[in-house]
Structure 1
C-alpha cells in the first residue's frame, strides 16, 4: 500500500512543481487603451498544440498558467481589428505587457461555425449536433457519446468519473436529482447544447465562498419556451403477449416547468427506477434521501446475471410520475416544486445453482423461483429561495410501500431433497421533512438546518413446511458435528418483525469570509431512536407455538450525538480547499429487559475530513482528500433474540458483547486533464481505505448455504487499495469518440466460519474501451467492451483465478433516406482454469422514419437465437458456484415512436 501512496504523492507534487509557470500582464492598443476579450495562448515552438489559454478582462489584463519541459514557449495574442502578435518567451514566471498594432479587418465573406466544445471559466459547452447520429432520438442517446461524460446503467451521469450534483434545464432544477425521466425522454432536437458547470456550488449565496469539487449539467434548450416530449406505443408477440407504452410530455417555460410521465411494459424495461434520486446537490440545501424499506426479512432470491436488464427481467410494470415547478414571486427567486410518483410492478425470476463448499467438503444444488410484487407511492412538496442575498429550502416527502415477495425453493444436499414455500409481506410508511435556511448578517452568514424522519416497518416471513429449514445453531469442533434448530410439530414457521424509527438532526452555524477564506463554526444535535419487536412462531394443527425469549425481541435503541465543528474553505483562482473538523459526543444505549440487554457507550471522537484541489495550466487539476470516521453500529448490532431473516439465516448478537465500534480511514489523490480545445479528457486516481472492527461475525455453516451468525468479540481489519486511469478523445475529423480505462483493486479482509478464522486476499482488475463513430453517412456504430480478471488467495480452498469479458455493439446502417437497419450484439463470457461459459445475444431492427411528422415505425426482433439460459461461474471465500439463470425468450416488437411537438 505504501508504494502506491508514495507513487501518487510523488506524481502529485511533481506536477505541482512543474505547474509554477505563470505569465500575466496587460494588453493595450496603439493609444494605450486596454483590449478586452483578447485571446492569449501558450504553445510549444513548432507544435500545433495549445498548452494553456486565457482571455483578457475588461481592463485588458490576462493570466496564463502552463506546464512545459521546453526552455522556451510561444506566446500568441489575437484580437479583433488588431494585428496578431507572436513572441517567444522563456519558460519561467514573468509579467509581460504588450501593445498591439491596429489592423482593420476586411470581411469579404462571413461563415459562422460553432465549435463542438467550448470553454468559458468553469463552464464547458458541447454542441449537441457534433455528437449525434441519425438513429439518436433522446438526450441520453447523445450524452453517452460526449467525451468526459458517462451514463451508467442506472441512469447516473458521471463527469470525469464522478457523479454530478445537479441537473438543470434552462437553469432550473425541476427534477431535484431524479433526472432519469428527462434524460431518457427529452428529444435531442429540442436541445441546443449541454453545459458542464465544473466545481459547481448550487447555493448562490455560497458561490465564491464555499467551493465544491462536483460538476453539474445544464441542458440549454433552443427555445426559451418549449413544449416537447417523447412517446412510444408498441406491441409484440413472444410468451406472453407483449406491450410497451411510454408517454412523457414536457413543458419548459421561463416561469414554470412540468413533466408528466406514464410508462408501462412487460418486455423487460426497468422504467420504475427513473424516479430515483441520482444527484443530491449540496449539504447546505438540507438532507435528500431515496426512501427505502428496512428489509430485515427476505425470501431466498434467485440469481441475476451480469447482463443488460432487458435480457432477463420478466416484469409487468406501471410507473406514473408528475413533476411541477413554478416561480411564486415577481423576482423569480421563490420556487414551488411538487413531485409525485406511483409504481406497480410484478417481477418473476428463476435460477439454478450448483455449489461446492471447500471448508465442509459438500456439494449442493438449489433451484429458486421468485415472484416479487412492488406497490409504492411517493409525494413531495418543496419550497425554495435561492438568491445571492439569502437561501431557504423546505422539503416534505411521504412514501408508502405495500410490497410482498414469494419464493419456491428446491434444495438437494447431504440431507436429501426438500422443497420450501416462502412468502414475505412488508408494508412501510415513511415521512421526512428537511429545512435549511441561510441568512446574511452584515458580512457573515447564518445557516440553520433541521431534518426529521419517521418510518414504520412491518414485515412477516412465512416458511412451510418447517422441515425445509435446516439451520445449525451450534458447532462442536471436537466431534465436527452440529446441533440443528428443532421447530417441533408445526406446518409453517412465521417470523414477525416491526420497527419504528425516528430521527431528528438539527444544526446552526455562522460563516466568516475574508480574502477567499471562509470559516464556519457549527453546533448541532443528531438524535435517533428505534423500537423493534419480533417473534418466531410455529403454526400447526394444534394452534400457535411460540419459541420463547431466545427467539423474540423487544428492544429500544437510542443514539444521541451533540457535536461542535469548524468548517474551513478557500476559493481562489487556482486553489480550492474545504475541510470539516467535527468533535462528536456519542451517547448510545440499547435496552431489552427480557433478554438482559443493557448496553451503553459514551465516547468523544474527532472525525476530520479534507479536500484540496489545485488548478493549473488551464487544463489540469490535482487533488488530495482524506477522512477519519467512527461508526458505532445501530440496532442491527444490539438485539439478543434470534431472528430468522430468511430460510437460510438465523442471527443474533450476544448480550455480553460490547457495542460494535468501527474506525475507518480513507485517503485519495487524483490528477485530471480536460482540454476542450483539443477534445482530450484524462484522469488518474488512487484511493486507500482502512477499517477496524471490534466484533467479528462467526458463521456456522453446515455446507448447504444455511447459517447461523454469531458475533464474537474479536478485532479484525480490512484494507483496500484502488487505482484507476481513463483517457478519452474526440476526433472531429473522423466524428469519433474513443476512451480507454483501467482499474485495479487489492483488498484484504478477515472472516470467521465454523469457529475458524480466514484471511482473504483479492486482486480485481478490469480494462475497458469505448468507441463510437458517426463519420459515414450510411453507418454509425457504438461499441464498448470490458475485460476483467480476479485472483483470490483462499485459505479455505484452492487459490482461484477467474476471468470475465463482456461487450455491447450497436451498429446502424442507413441504406436509403429515412430507413435504418440496426444490429445489436451483447456478449458475456466467464471462465476459470476448468470451465468457460459464453453467452452471446443478438437483436436486429428495421426502422422507417416519417420525416415530416417526426414519427418512427420500428420492428425489432430480440434474442434471435432464442437463448433461454445464462450460464456463469463465480467464486467467493468458501464456495464456487455454477449458475443457470432463466432469460427472456425470443420476441418481436412493433413500435411507433414520436415527439409530442
Structure 2
C-alpha cells in the first residue's frame, strides 16, 4: 500500500510539474522606457486568490510561472503612478509586452501596516512583533512560533525541516555556529525582524557560482548599534535552589561581543549553549564539535524523554565570551575570539526491570532481571578559539585555531538481581553489587585554513586541516566478582586502562572556472590519519596489581592514507540549481596488532558521487533532489584483537579468525517538495528518503545474564531504511493563530548474532506532531504541542511481533489581567505503552509574574511539579532478545523558584 501511495504521489507531482506554464515579456511606461518594480500577478477569474506573481527588473523584464486547470486566466499589472492593467489570457506559454499609462494619484491619508511575511528574491522576512505574545521575552521564545521555522531540543534551528547553516546578527556571524547563547538571551524587543536567506552560500566570492542547499537566519536589530542583553537571578527550595544568568551583548558596525555567565542547580543544562549547531560551508574549512574518544564506560542510569528541568539534578557553572572585531581599516577582515569553561556535576538514578520471554537468546528459560544504578558525573571542559577571516567578493581567507580540554570523572553504584541463567535453570537467583569509577582526561588541538584566490577568470582554493587528540581513560570496578563470568572473581578490583593518540592531516587544492551558467571545480587532495591504542586489564588483590595476560591487552595501529581527485560541477540559473560532485578516492588503510602480529590492509579505488539539485516553479514551489554513494572501510577502534571492558558488563574483542577489513557501501536517494507562499502565510514540505547499507561484517554477541561479549564475524548483510515525511504550517492573521502539522513514517531492518543465532528484525515507526499557538485575545495566549508515535518490531526468525506506542504533549497557557500581571499554567504529559503495560507521566506547573513595565523588570514565582511526582516510568521492547524493559527514573521533586529577570538595556 505504501509503495502504491508513493507511486501515485510521484505521478501526480510529475503531472503538476509538466502542466506548469510560463509567461514572459517587457513592461514599459508611456514614453517607452523600461518600468522596474511593477508587480505581475496571475489569478483565476472570479476568485480572490493569487496563483503566481513576479516583479519586473531594471530592464522592465518579467517572468511568471504558474499551474492551473482553467482555460482562461486574469493577468494584472500594478506600478506606482501607473494606471493598472487587467487582461484575460489563455492558459499557455506566451510572451506578452505591455505599455502602462501614467496616472498620478493624490494621497490624502497614509496608513502604514506592517506585513507579517514578505519575500524578495531568496530572502523571506518575518515581522517579529506579529508572532510574539506578552509572555515572550527572548528571540528563542518567538522563533518557535514562526511558520516554517522549528527549534529542536538541542537548540538547532530548522527551516523547512533542515538545519540552517548560518546565524547572523545584523549580517555578521559572531557566534560561528554556537548561536544558542544569542538565541536564548537576545531580548525580543531589540529585534525588528527575522530574515531567512534561502539557498545561502556564506562565501561571497562563490555566490552565483556554487549553490547551497541550506538556508541561513539573519537577525535584524532595530538599531545599527545596540547594547543589550538579558539577566536572571533566582532562588528556591526543596532542595535549596539557585539560578544566575548574566549575558550582556553589544552589536556594532565594527565590533560585536557577547559575555555569558550562567550557573544553576535547578535542572537547566546551560553548558549546551556552547555546542556547535551549524558548520557553514565546506569552503570555509573544517570545524567539528570536539568530543572524547570513548573506549570504556561505567554503567549509567537512563534519562526520561521529558524536558530537562524535570529530571536533571545538576550543579553547573558555565562561562563563555565571544568577540568579533575588524582590526584593520579594510572592514573585509574580521578577527573572532571565543573562550568557554564548564564545571558541572550531575546525579542520576534509576530502577530497571527486564523480563525475558521463554526462548530468549539471552535467558532461554525466561526470567526477570532487576537492576538499580546510581550515578555521579563530574565534568570539566575548557575551549579557546581564534578565527581570522576575510570574506569578500574578490577573495576569501579563513583560519580557525581551536583548543579543547576535558577533565571528567564519573562514578556509579550498581545493584543487580539476576534470574537463573539460561544454561542452569535450576540455579537460584544471583545478587551482584559494584562500585564503578571512570577518569577520562582529553586534550585536542585543531587548525583549519581555507583560502580562495582569484586568478584571471578562475578561482584557486587551498585548504589545510590538522588535528591532534590524546585520550586517557581508567575504569575501576570493585568488587571484581561482579564480573566473575569474565574470570575476574579472584580480585578485589578490576581496572581497564586505555590511552589513544590521533593525528589527522588533510590538504587540498582546487581551481574553479566558469562558463556561462556553469562552474567547474577540479580538486586534488591528500587525507592522512595516524592512530595508536594501548590498553590493558589489571586485577588488584590486597593493594597489589596483577597483569591479566596478553589476551586482555592491546597495542594497535590504525593508519589511513587517502589521496583523492574530484570534479565539482555547478549550474545556476534563475530557477534551477545543480551541484554535482564526482570524486575518485584512493583508500589505503592498514590495521596492525603489535602484540599478536595480526596485519590487515585495504587498498581500493572507489567512486563516491554526490548530487543535489533544486527547481523553483509556479512562484511558490521548489523541488529538491538528493543522491549519493559512499564507502566506509571502518575507523580507528573498529578492530582490536585483545579483550577490552567497554563497560563492566560488556567484554569486547573486535576481531576473529579469518576476519577481513570492513567494507560498507551506502547509497541514498531523496526528494523534497516545498511550498512557501508569504502572500497567504502558508508553508509546507513533503520529503522522501531511501537508503541502503551493504556490509560484509556483523556483530556477534554472547550473552549470559547481564554479561555480554562481542566479536565480529564475516557475513554479508544489508540494511534498508525508507522514510516519508510531510509538514504543513499556516499563520491566520485574523485569528492571530499559527498552526502546523507534521508526520513521518520510517521502515527499516537490522541484523545481529546472539549466541551464534543470526537474527533479523523489521522495524516500522510512525510519528505525528501538531503545534498550535494563539494570541487572539489581548488577555490570553495559548501554546500547545503534541507528538504521537507508534512502533512495530518483528523478529523475522520466528515472526514474533512487539508493538509499542506513546505520546507526549505540552500545554502552556497565560492570562494577562493587566500589563503588570501574568498568570501561567504549564502541563507536560507523556505516555508509553508496550506488551500490555502502560505508563503515564503528568507534570503541572504554576507561575505568577509581575512586570515593572517602566524598567522592563520581571518578578516571577514558579511552582514546578505540583503533584510532587518522584519517578518517571517507561516501557520498551527489544524484539531480537525477546525482552521487555520497564524503567523507573528518579526525577526532581516539587520545587519553588523566585526569579528576577531583566534586560541590560
Q: TM-score range by the shorter chain?
A: over 0.9
Cα distance, 1:655–1:591 mapped onto 2, change above 3 Å: farther
Structure 1 match to 2:423: none
Structure 1 match to 2:806: 804
1:618 aligns with 2:619: yes
Cα distance, 1:12–1:587 mapped onto 2, change above 3 Å: farther
1:433 aligns with 2:453: no
1:390 aligns with 2:386: no
- C-alpha deviation, 1:27, in angstroms: 1.1
Structure 2 match to 1:661: 663
* Contact preservation (8 Å) 1:8, 1:686: no
Structure 2 match to 1:443: 457
398-407 or 414-423, which deviates more: 414-423
* Contact preservation (8 Å) 2:819, 2:853: no
Cα distance, 1:47–1:821 mapped onto 2, change above 3 Å: same
Instruction: State the alpha-carbon separation in 2 of the partners of residues 93 and 455 from structure 1.
Output: 61
Task: Indicate the SS of the match to 1:494.
Answer: strand
Structure 2 match to 1:885: 889
- C-alpha deviation, 1:435, in angstroms: 0.3
Instruction: State the alpha-carbon separation in 1 of the partners of residues 483 and 154 from structure 2.
Output: 36
Instruction: State the alpha-carbon separation in 2 of the partners of residues 515 and 5 from structure 1.
Output: 37
Structure 2 match to 1:684: 686
Structure 1 match to 2:902: 898
Structure 1 match to 2:577: 576
| 1:832-882 per-position Cα deviation (integer Å, ceiling 9, x unaligned) | 351211101000000000000000000000000000011111112322101
Instruction: State the alpha-carbon separation in 2 of the partners of residues 331 and 743 from structure 1.
Output: 49
Instruction: State the alpha-carbon separation in 2 of the partners of residues 489 and 255 from structure 1.
Output: 68
| 1:721-743 per-position Cα deviation (integer Å, ceiling 9, x unaligned) | 00000000000011100001110
Instruction: State the alpha-carbon separation in 1 of the partners of residues 335 and 9 from structure 2.
Output: 47
Instruction: State the alpha-carbon separation in 2 of the partners of residues 11 and 754 from structure 1.
Output: 49
Structure 2 match to 1:875: 877
| 1:743-785 per-position Cα deviation (integer Å, ceiling 9, x unaligned) | 0001112111110011100110011100000110010011010
Structure 2 alignment gaps of length 5 or more? 420-428
- C-alpha deviation, 1:798, in angstroms: 3.5
Instruction: State the alpha-carbon separation in 2 of the partners of residues 274 and 171 from structure 1.
Output: 21
| 1:185-218 per-position Cα deviation (integer Å, ceiling 9, x unaligned) | 0000000100000000000000000000100000
1:268 aligns with 2:273: no
* Contact preservation (8 Å) 2:481, 2:490: no
Instruction: State the alpha-carbon separation in 2 of the partners of residues 516 and 12 from structure 1.
Output: 27
* Contact preservation (8 Å) 1:516, 1:570: yes
Task: Indicate the SS of the match to 2:818.
Answer: coil
- C-alpha deviation, 1:618, in angstroms: 1.2
- C-alpha deviation, 1:136, in angstroms: 0.4
**TM-score, with length taken from structure 2:** 0.97
Runs of 4+ with deviation above 6 angstroms: none
Instruction: State the alpha-carbon separation in 1 of the partners of residues 594 and 144 from structure 2.
Output: 57
- C-alpha deviation, 1:13, in angstroms: 2.9
Cα distance, 1:655–1:800 mapped onto 2, change above 3 Å: closer
Instruction: State the alpha-carbon separation in 1 of the partners of residues 9 and 355 from structure 2.
Output: 41
Instruction: State the alpha-carbon separation in 2 of the partners of residues 468 and 647 from structure 1.
Output: 8
- C-alpha deviation, 1:816, in angstroms: 2.2
How does 1:96-245 map onto structure 2 within 5 Å? 96-239=96-239, 241-245=240-244
Structure 2 match to 1:825: 827
1:464 aligns with 2:478: yes
| 1:585-617 per-position Cα deviation (integer Å, ceiling 9, x unaligned) | 110111123213211111111111101111111
* Contact preservation (8 Å) 1:668, 1:688: yes
* Contact preservation (8 Å) 2:483, 2:489: no
Task: Indicate the SS of the match to 1:401.
Answer: strand
* Contact preservation (8 Å) 2:656, 2:713: no
Cα distance, 1:500–1:741 mapped onto 2, change above 3 Å: same
Instruction: State the alpha-carbon separation in 2 of the partners of residues 144 and 234 from structure 1.
Output: 25
- C-alpha deviation, 1:451, in angstroms: 0.4
Instruction: State the alpha-carbon separation in 1 of the partners of residues 264 and 168 from structure 2.
Output: 28
Task: Indicate the SS of the match to 1:814.
Answer: strand
- C-alpha deviation, 1:8, in angstroms: 5.2
Cα distance, 1:4–1:694 mapped onto 2, change above 3 Å: farther
Instruction: State the alpha-carbon separation in 1 of the partners of residues 734 and 173 from structure 2.
Output: 35
- C-alpha deviation, 1:53, in angstroms: 1.0
- C-alpha deviation, 1:295, in angstroms: 1.2
* Contact preservation (8 Å) 2:656, 2:712: no
* Contact preservation (8 Å) 1:42, 1:74: yes
Structure 1 match to 2:36: 36
Instruction: State the alpha-carbon separation in 2 of the partners of residues 548 and 72 from structure 1.
Output: 86
How does 1:555-634 map onto structure 2 within 5 Å? 555-634=556-635
Instruction: State the alpha-carbon separation in 1 of the partners of residues 466 and 46 from structure 2.
Output: 63
Instruction: State the alpha-carbon separation in 2 of the partners of residues 644 and 186 from structure 1.
Output: 46
| 1:522-558 per-position Cα deviation (integer Å, ceiling 9, x unaligned) | 1101100111000000011172111111100011110
How does 1:349-388 map onto structure 2 within 5 Å? 349-358=348-357, 359=360, 360=363, 361-388=366-393
- C-alpha deviation, 1:330, in angstroms: 1.8
- C-alpha deviation, 1:362, in angstroms: 2.9
RMSD (Å), alpha carbons: 1.2
Instruction: State the alpha-carbon separation in 2 of the partners of residues 69 and 452 from structure 1.
Output: 58
Structure 2 match to 1:454: 468
- C-alpha deviation, 1:566, in angstroms: 0.6
| 1:710-730 per-position Cα deviation (integer Å, ceiling 9, x unaligned) | 111111111110000000000
Instruction: State the alpha-carbon separation in 1 of the partners of residues 303 and 543 from structure 2.
Output: 40
Task: Indicate the SS of the match to 1:799.
Answer: strand
| 1:370-403 per-position Cα deviation (integer Å, ceiling 9, x unaligned) | 0011101000000000000000000000000000
Instruction: State the alpha-carbon separation in 2 of the partners of residues 202 and 269 from structure 1.
Output: 33
Task: Indicate the SS of the match to 1:154.
Answer: coil
Instruction: State the alpha-carbon separation in 2 of the partners of residues 24 and 93 from structure 1.
Output: 8
How does 1:754-793 map onto structure 2 within 5 Å? 754-793=755-794
Instruction: State the alpha-carbon separation in 2 of the partners of residues 526 and 7 from structure 1.
Output: 45
- C-alpha deviation, 1:705, in angstroms: 3.3
Task: Indicate the SS of the match to 1:636.
Answer: coil
- C-alpha deviation, 1:9, in angstroms: 4.0
Structure 2 match to 1:59: 59
Task: Indicate the SS of the match to 1:815.
Answer: strand
584-593 or 849-858, which deviates more: 584-593
Instruction: State the alpha-carbon separation in 2 of the partners of residues 146 and 611 from structure 1.
Output: 27
Instruction: State the alpha-carbon separation in 2 of the partners of residues 513 and 2 from structure 1.
Output: 42
* Contact preservation (8 Å) 1:167, 1:173: yes
94-103 or 304-313, which deviates more: 94-103
Instruction: State the alpha-carbon separation in 2 of the partners of residues 517 and 144 from structure 1.
Output: 38
Instruction: State the alpha-carbon separation in 2 of the partners of residues 249 and 113 from structure 1.
Output: 33
**TM-score, with length taken from structure 1:** 0.97
Structure 1 match to 2:74: 74
Task: Indicate the SS of the match to 1:129.
Answer: helix
* Contact preservation (8 Å) 2:481, 2:489: no
| 1:62-117 per-position Cα deviation (integer Å, ceiling 9, x unaligned) | 11111112222211111111111111111111111111122111101011111010
Structure 2 match to 1:481: none
- C-alpha deviation, 1:797, in angstroms: 7.9
| 1:223-271 per-position Cα deviation (integer Å, ceiling 9, x unaligned) | 00000000000000112x0000000000000000000000000000110
884-893 or 645-654, which deviates more: 645-654
